[in-house]
């Protein structure tokens, strides 16, 4: 076998080589076409090969691609920071640019801790997160993530941060039912704060809608208002990890707009550049920056490529494209069309337990039995098999944590926001074929 040099996710496994992409489709070097129903990793929000972005990239490259942030600033970086703030309801955010979602959440954590240090409260240095959450792969971000599988190898090196129960209504961790539960999972945050002491807690971090760690887990409408009140009462900052949900994906520019809550800090990534370049952002509200501006006047973080003008120009072009083509609204309308089709499909497929999500961040959860909601055994590898079956048919799907940490077996359905109704029809047709194929295989193996 030819010696390899690139470390790929599964070593020794062959990977197709993608030569080009256009819109929602990718094309490999063997002539196979893939319908990208997962936008890669919920990233390629505007689809592939958008000329306006290619032009912006070339234009900025023709001026200057890199300046070092400790020496200079640049027009695209300044403009992008203003643009992101303008997109929020309150328009009062600063931005710190980084290169990945993990860096964005980790920087949010550091800025939250620094905020309290500058206010003379250095003991406020823990971050509470939720079980079934994913905030990134770097050590700080992983310390705040409830993703057991990704933490396992490094557990001894991670900060000992507490986790609270998620608003997972389909499989309520507290065995309650909304609305009679009165959102008891939010009370779990209040209980954790009481137990640990607010004087030790800098922030609470949550994905507005849980992505990879559970599959589009969407809280009740009033959950975040209750969470924000608990945070405010206890002097704890609220960090919204909008790495997956931000920039239109859920049918609002920021998913927190669905819930009428303005976070103190926001982490962005993925759809912010739609994958055209690595760039991410930590957005920080004025009141969080105020003590830093009056104190040390410097945020103690940063990377060589932070605020890179080339990447900033690309992100600006992506956001302008989203605005110019009304793609936030499209995520809402096409999301409604897609979820309705998935729900219709689910009626005839007994192994589908739940179809959920907002906009074009949707998920399907699989179960053995609809009444008991019993999970498939791990060795059934249900989501992997469905994703593999879809892949063979040229349909790309994204796994949400398969039955770990109390989550069920789910896959995300999150195509680019530019997907057309005809492409959605094709997506659902291929997905239904894939699920039915695996369902038949499972039934056959049970009767053998």
Comparison of 26 and 141: residue with beta carbon closer to ligand PMP:
141
Q: Is the bond preceding 241 in cis, omega lying within 30 degrees of 0? A: no
Comparison of 117 and 273: residue with beta carbon closer to ligand PMP:
273
Residue 284 interacting with ligand PMP (CB under 6 A): no
Token pair, residue 296, equals 């040390």
Least distance to ligand PMP, CB of residue 104, Å: 7
Q: How far is CA 71 from the centre of its chain?
A: 32
Choice from 23, 45, 47, 101 touching ligand PMP (CB under 6 A): 101
Comparison of 99 and 117: residue with beta carbon closer to ligand PMP:
99
Neighbours of 8 (CB within 10 A): 10
Comparison of 263 and 269: residue with beta carbon closer to ligand PMP:
269
Neighbours of 322 (CB within 10 A): 24
Choice from 41, 64, 196, 426 touching ligand PMP (CB under 6 A): 41
- Total residues at the site for ligand PMP (CB under 6 A)? 16
Comparison of 102 and 310: residue with beta carbon closer to ligand PMP:
102
Choice from 39, 95, 100, 383 touching ligand PMP (CB under 6 A): 100
Cα separation of 114 and 87, whole Å?
A: 26
Comparison of 102 and 282: residue with beta carbon closer to ligand PMP:
102
Choice from 60, 95, 102, 308 touching ligand PMP (CB under 6 A): 102
Residue 60 interacting with ligand PMP (CB under 6 A): no
Comparison of 50 and 213: residue with beta carbon closer to ligand PMP:
213
Choice from 112, 237, 243, 351 touching ligand PMP (CB under 6 A): 243
Q: Which stretch binds ligand PMP (CB under 6 A): 48-56, 236-244, 343-351, 409-417?
A: 236-244
C-alpha pair distances (Å), 207 with each of 129, 133, 212, 230, 372? 9, 7, 10, 17, 28
Choice from 269, 275, 353, 359 touching ligand PMP (CB under 6 A): 269
Residue 134 interacting with ligand PMP (CB under 6 A): yes
Choice from 106, 165, 207, 354 touching ligand PMP (CB under 6 A): 207
Residue 196 interacting with ligand PMP (CB under 6 A): no
CB half-sphere exposure, 332, CA atoms < 13 A: 11
Least distance to ligand PMP, CB of residue 296, Å: 27
Least distance to ligand PMP, CB of residue 187, Å: 24
Comparison of 201 and 212: residue with beta carbon closer to ligand PMP:
212
Q: Which residue has the tokens 């920080």?
A: 284
Q: Which residues contact 103 (CB under 8 A, 6 or more apart)?
A: 136, 138, 141, 280, 303
Choice from 193, 212, 318, 410 touching ligand PMP (CB under 6 A): 212
Comparison of 135 and 226: residue with beta carbon closer to ligand PMP:
135
Residue 282 interacting with ligand PMP (CB under 6 A): no
Sign of the dihedral through C-alpha 131, 137, 388, 419: positive
Nearest to 110 by CA among 282, 256, 307: 282
Residue 105 interacting with ligand PMP (CB under 6 A): yes
Comparison of 165 and 207: residue with beta carbon closer to ligand PMP:
207
Comparison of 41 and 184: residue with beta carbon closer to ligand PMP:
41
Comparison of 140 and 269: residue with beta carbon closer to ligand PMP:
269
Least distance to ligand PMP, CB of residue 103, Å: 7
Residue 135 interacting with ligand PMP (CB under 6 A): yes
CB-based contact 193:230 (threshold 8 Å): yes
Q: Which stretch binds ligand PMP (CB under 6 A): 10-18, 135-143, 230-238, 415-423?
A: 135-143
Choice from 136, 359, 402, 415 touching ligand PMP (CB under 6 A): 136
CB-based contact 173:165 (threshold 8 Å): yes
26 pairs with which residues across the strands? 21, 34
Least distance to ligand PMP, CB of residue 8, Å: 16
Q: Which residues of this protein are in contact with ligand PMP, per CB under 6 A? A: 41, 100-102, 105, 134-137, 207, 211-212, 241, 243-244, 269
């Amino acid at each position: 076998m030819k010696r390899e040099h690139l470390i790929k996710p599964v070593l020794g496994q062959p990977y197709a080589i993608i030569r080009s992409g256009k819109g929602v489709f990718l094309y490999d070097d063997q002539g196979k076409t893939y319908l990208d129903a997962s936008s890669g990793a919920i990233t390629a929000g505007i689809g592939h090969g958008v000329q306006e972005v290619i032009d912006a990239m070339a234009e900025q490259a023709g001026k200057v691609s890199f300046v070092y942030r400790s020496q200079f600033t640049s027009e695209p970086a300044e403009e992008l920071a203003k643009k992101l703030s303008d997109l929020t309801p309150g328009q009062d955010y600063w931005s710190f640019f980084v290169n990945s979602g993990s860096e964005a959440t980790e920087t949010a954590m550091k800025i939250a801790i620094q905020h309290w240090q500058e206010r003379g409260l250095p003991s406020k240095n823990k971050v509470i997160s939720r079980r079934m959450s994913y905030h990134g792969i770097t050590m700080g971000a992983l310390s705040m993530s409830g993703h057991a599988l990704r933490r396992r190898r490094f557990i001894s090196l991670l900060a000992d941060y507490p986790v609270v129960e998620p608003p997972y209504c389909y499989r309520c961790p507290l065995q309650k039912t909304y609305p009679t539960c009165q959102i008891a999972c939010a009370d779990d945050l209040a209980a954790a704060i009481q137990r640990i002491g607010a004087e030790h807690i800098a922030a609470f971090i949550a994905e507005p809608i849980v992505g990879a760690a559970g599959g589009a887990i969407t809280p009740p409408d009033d959950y975040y208002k209750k969470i924000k009140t608990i945070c405010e009462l206890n002097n704890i900052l609220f960090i919204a990890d909008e790495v997956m949900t931000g920039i239109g994906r859920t049918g609002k520019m920021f998913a927190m707009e669905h819930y009428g809550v303005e976070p103190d800090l926001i982490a962005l990534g993925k759809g912010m550049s739609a994958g055209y370049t690595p760039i991410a952002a930590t957005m920080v509200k004025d009141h969080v920056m105020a003590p830093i501006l009056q104190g040390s006047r410097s945020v103690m973080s940063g990377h060589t490529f932070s605020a890179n003008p080339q990447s900033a120009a690309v992100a600006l072009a992506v956001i302008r494209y989203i605005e110019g083509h009304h793609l936030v609204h499209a995520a809402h309308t096409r999301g409604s069309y897609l979820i309705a089709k998935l729900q219709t499909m689910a009626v005839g497929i007994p192994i589908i337990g739940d179809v959920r999500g907002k906009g074009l961040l949707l998920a399907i959860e699989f179960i053995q039995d609809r009444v008991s909601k019993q999970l498939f055994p791990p060795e059934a590898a249900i989501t992997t098999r469905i994703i593999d079956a879809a892949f063979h048919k040229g349909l790309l799907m994204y796994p949400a944590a398969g039955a770990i940490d109390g989550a069920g077996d789910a896959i995300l359905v999150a195509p680019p926001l530019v997907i057309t109704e005809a492409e959605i029809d094709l997506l659902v047709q291929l997905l239904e074929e894939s699920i039915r194929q695996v369902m038949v295989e499972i039934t056959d193996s049970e009767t053998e």
